[in-house]
């Protein structure tokens, strides 16, 4: 079963997305801040990480850096969800941190699930 780490500080949204991912057959672990996500990543290995850009304790960029510095996660696909797409240099972040995809908030939940499937298919997970 594909294991997904979901780092999202909006508790309600994280529950809804986590539930939707599990209905689709994924095993999902939810963290409500970047530091908690990093702790989960150290305790288990995930096939995909979905993270919010703007989180307390550790933002998405810092979490990406920690993950990429860990050899277990140097090739793991990452989807960054953010309401700041217009403020970010997504090309630079994609290249520097090997982010597989960005999803701009607000979005339709079905579109994010489709993006998850596309990213996992491209990585053959």
Cβ atoms of 95 and 104 closer than 8 Å: no
Domains of the chain, by residue range, sit at 3-123
| pTM of the model as a whole | 0.91
pLDDT tens for each residue of 42-52: 999 999 999 99
Name the nearest CA neighbour of 103 among 83, 76, 89. 83
29 and 8 in contact (C-beta within 8 Å)?
Answer: no
The fold of the 3-123 domain, in CATH, is Rossmann fold (3.40.50)
Could you report the per-residue pLDDT of 105-125, keeping only the tens digit for each?
788 889 999 999 999 998 865
């Amino acid at each position: 079963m594909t294991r997904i780490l979901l780092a999202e500080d909006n508790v309600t949204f994280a529950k809804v997305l986590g539930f939707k991912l599990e209905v689709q057959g994924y095993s999902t672990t939810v963290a409500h801040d970047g530091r908690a996500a990093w702790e989960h990543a150290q305790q288990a290995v995930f096939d995909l990480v979905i993270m919010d850009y703007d989180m307390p304790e550790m933002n998405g960029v810092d979490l990406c850096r920690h993950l990429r510095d860990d050899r277990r996660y140097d090739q793991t696909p990452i989807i960054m969800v953010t309401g700041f797409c217009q403020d970010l240099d997504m090309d630079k972040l994609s290249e520097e941190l090997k982010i597989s995809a960005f999803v701009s908030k607000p979005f339709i939940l079905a579109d994010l699930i489709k993006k998850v499937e596309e990213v996992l298919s491209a990585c053959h997970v």
